[in-house]
Amino acid sequence: MTYCINPNCPEPHNPDEALFCRTCGFDLHLQGRYRVVGGLKTGGFSHTYEAVDRATPKVLKVLDLANFGRKGDREKALRLFDQEGRVLSELNHPGIPKVDATGHFTVTLPDGEGVLHCLVMQKMAGLNLEDWVADRGCGIDEGRAIAWLWQLIDILDAVHRQHFFHRDIKPSNIMLQPSGNLALIDFGSVRSITRTYLANIGHGLAGTAIVSKGYAPPEQENGWAVEQSDFFALGRTFVYLLTAEHPLTFYDAYTDELRWRSRAPQIGDDLADLVDRLMAHLPQQRPPSTAAIARELAEISSPGLTRGTTLQPTPSPQIELVGTLKGHRDAVWSVAIGPRSRFLVSASWDCTIQVWNLATGQRLRTLAGHQDAVWAIALSADGNTLVSTSSDRTVKIWHLPSGQLLRTLHGHRHWVTCVALSPDGATIASGSSDKTVKIWHLPTGKLLHTLQAHTYAVTCVAIAPDGHTLASGSGDKTIKFWDLRTGQLQRTLLAHSASVTCLCFSPDGRTLASGTVNKTLKLWDVTTGQRLHLLVGHSDKIWAVAIAPDGQTLIGASRDRTIECWDLSNGSLKAILNEHSGSVNAVAISEDGQLLASGSNDCTIKIWSLGG
């Protein structure tokens, strides 16, 4: 069936093959490409339809200004409609629908009876959470609630970072996609956070009241809203998700309280307390930002160690220092162990890269090509190709057996601080203080993508073992996941309360470890973005992290001059290695899991036996 969107058409249903409405003659192929196949809903300022673009499902929103009698109402409706299209075009997040490049247009009705304003956007498949919970007939459990809250905070962070707030968060505006990920839809009420708007609030000048009863906060009912208004609606949304009942069911008019907690016995007090804080009566009583919510949620969701825990390492006599390599004249910031532990490569602030025989400790070769400090190196799986990055703003590719410089890549505008190489050796990811990550084709040196989403220096990058996902960490305190092939941003984690310094995927690619300047190590579920463990032991900034090939041991290196070895099966600290006399900046584990190499500000590389 093809549907005619002419509001004056008495019989809008047409056969699939029809080009024009058989009743009113209206063009059924909008812009020559979009065919409407049915209605979705009518509400607010517009009608929403299901459409197809050459078999690709789309959502079409249509505004008919004839529905508004007063000129002021028409102007306001058109302003909100146009604003939705503009906002969606500026937001880039997998949980937010994208607007087609040619999807904002007008069509004239037959006989000049009026103009329809149209907006075509990505269709987020799935079921909205209001219907999903209603079908189940019961509230969600704590695990699902935490996972969903993480996802929604991630989406809201993307909205708020672009200086918008949604103003209409509720279960019916959240889609559960077939992938299990959530999407936030209906940006028809979105508001830009401008100085003028905030000044109007300060002077008591109300704006447009957008109210969904039971979900909108008190200030929004009075015609104004702030970022924290979205948090109130988010809290009320979770009351519904946890109880399967509308929030106003629990409202006590005598005490002005929402007495909902007894209907959600499946969750703990910590999560319930957070939901209540989200719904505080005054905006200043709610969490101040998405980052603040993420920090609270992290403490609730982590089954691992928490801040303030006193740690004593379990004796681990099998870890033994077996050698020290000396030769660099400045701090060592990156190390890599070659296949079958035949050699080791180290990079230093002395502008050189050294290649060592691991069996004898002999220095085999010095690679001198960078004009400034060398920050990072990445070694191909066969040990033949080395990639290095430097404060000289370049990425260099070397043929390691001969020491020949194959190619120098230019493009970054500041220090190139980190590098990763895909498992197949074909793709390089480099991160820089210029806030970007660049993706290069190693065989040709061609720049494939420039990833621009971080708001501060990129400090670390890691590529998943399957070669499909790239993770990047930054001074902006976030971790971002990207599709390595397309360069598309997949997810942002509000990871830490301070700069992220290092990243490492587990061998199975399901877990990501991160370190930070605030002395903590965290482990994340790559699929859900949920934090799995918080490991607290170091007394200073953490500079490097590595996970053993068996996935059971995590190594952290710190400015406190120590290396910590953690048992990931139970979150216990197995050993503290303290032979370096300066900050430990780099660690690497051999492919058989038997050797650990560490690089330090004391200009040495130490080799450790990890035992069986």
Report the range of poorest mean pLDDT among 64-68, 447-451, 472-476, 477-481: 64-68
Can you tell me the mean pLDDT for 589-596? 95
| Average pLDDT, rounded, for the chain | 87
pLDDT: is 497 or 329 the higher one?
A: 329
Q: How many whole angstroms separate alpha carbon 359 and alpha carbon 582?
A: 25
Which pLDDT does position 193 carry in this prediction?
A: 38
320-609 belongs to which homologous superfamily? YVTN repeat-like/Quinoprotein amine dehydrogenase (2.130.10.10)
Contacts of 603 (CB under 8 A, 6+ apart): 326, 328, 329, 330, 331, 332, 348, 582
DSSP 471-500: EEEETTS-EEEEETTT--EEEEE---SS-E
Cβ neighbours of 587 (radius 10 Å): 24
Q: How far is CA 162 from CA 89, 92, 152, 290, 453, in A?
A: 11, 10, 16, 13, 11
Per DSSP, 375 falls in state: E
Highest-scoring range by mean pLDDT, 28-32, 49-53, 345-349: 345-349
DSSP 157-186: HHHHHTTEE-S---GGGEEE-TTS-EEE--
* pLDDT band with cut points at 50, 70 and 90 for residue 301: low
Can you tell me the mean pLDDT for 215-228? 83
Residue 514 gets the label, from left (phi > 0), alpha (psi -120 to 50) or beta, of beta
Q: How many CA atoms lie within 13 A of 506 on its CB side?
A: 20
Q: Is 261 helix (H, G, I), strand (E, B) or coil?
A: helix
Q: Are 395 and 408 in contact (CB under 8 A)?
A: yes
Can you tell me the mean pLDDT for 534-556? 91
2-122 belongs to which homologous superfamily? Phosphorylase Kinase; domain 1 (3.30.200.20)
Can you tell me the mean pLDDT for 600-607? 96
Domain boundaries, the chain: 2-122, 127-301, 320-609
User: Residue 69: pLDDT above 80?
Assistant: no
Nearest to 456 by CA among 486, 490, 480, 484: 480
**Backbone phi, then psi, for 304, in 5-degree steps?**
-90, -165
Report the range of poorest mean pLDDT among 3-12, 88-97, 317-326, 343-352: 88-97
Q: How many whole angstroms separate alpha carbon 140 and alpha carbon 244?
A: 8
* pLDDT band with cut points at 50, 70 and 90 for residue 612: low
Q: Is 131 helix (H, G, I), strand (E, B) or coil?
A: helix
Residue bearing tokens 């929403």: 48
**Backbone phi, then psi, for 555, in 5-degree steps?**
-115, 130
Q: Is 361 helix (H, G, I), strand (E, B) or coil?
A: coil
Cβ neighbours of 56 (radius 10 Å): 12
Report the range of poorest mean pLDDT among 154-168, 268-282, 357-371: 154-168
Can you tell me the mean pLDDT for 205-213? 53
Which pLDDT does position 197 carry in this prediction?
A: 32
* pLDDT band with cut points at 50, 70 and 90 for residue 593: very high
Report the range of poorest mean pLDDT among 85-94, 235-244, 372-381, 459-468: 85-94
Nearest to 432 by CA among 468, 397, 398, 474: 474
Q: How many whole angstroms separate alpha carbon 513 and alpha carbon 546?
A: 8
DSSP 215-248: TS-HHHHTT---HHHHHHHHHHHHHHHHHSS-GG
User: Residue 303: pLDDT above 80?
Assistant: no
Torsion sign (Cα): 195, 196, 197, 199: positive
Which pLDDT does position 194 carry in this prediction?
A: 35
CA angle, residues 528, 171, 249, in degrees to nearest 5: 125
Which pLDDT does position 204 carry in this prediction?
A: 40
Helix axes 290-301, 142-161, angle to 10 degrees: 160
Torsion sign (Cα): 90, 94, 96, 100: positive
Nearest to 46 by CA among 167, 188, 206: 188
Alpha helices, H only, 290-446: 290-301
User: Residue 207: pLDDT above 60?
Assistant: no
Contacts of 71 (CB under 8 A, 6+ apart): none
User: Residue 433: pLDDT above 60?
Assistant: yes
The token duo for 150 is: 């993480």
User: Residue 516: pLDDT above 60?
Assistant: yes
Which pLDDT does position 334 carry in this prediction?
A: 98
The model's pTM: 0.57
Which pLDDT does position 198 carry in this prediction?
A: 31
Radius of gyration over every alpha carbon of the chain, rounded to an integer in angstroms? 28
Highest-scoring range by mean pLDDT, 21-30, 66-75, 294-303: 21-30
Q: CATH code for 127-301?
A: 1.10.510.10
pLDDT: is 147 or 419 the higher one?
A: 419
Which pLDDT does position 189 carry in this prediction?
A: 57
Alpha helices, H only, 279-338: 290-301
Contacts of 217 (CB under 8 A, 6+ apart): 225, 228, 229, 232, 233, 283
Which pLDDT does position 530 carry in this prediction?
A: 83
User: Residue 246: pLDDT above 90?
Assistant: yes
Can you tell me the mean pLDDT for 589-607? 96
Which pLDDT does position 181 carry in this prediction?
A: 85
Can you tell me the mean pLDDT for 278-292? 90
pLDDT: is 102 or 182 the higher one?
A: 182
Q: How many whole angstroms separate alpha carbon 280 and alpha carbon 265?
A: 21
Instruction: State percent of the chain over pLDDT 70.
Output: 92
Can you tell me the mean pLDDT for 111-121? 85
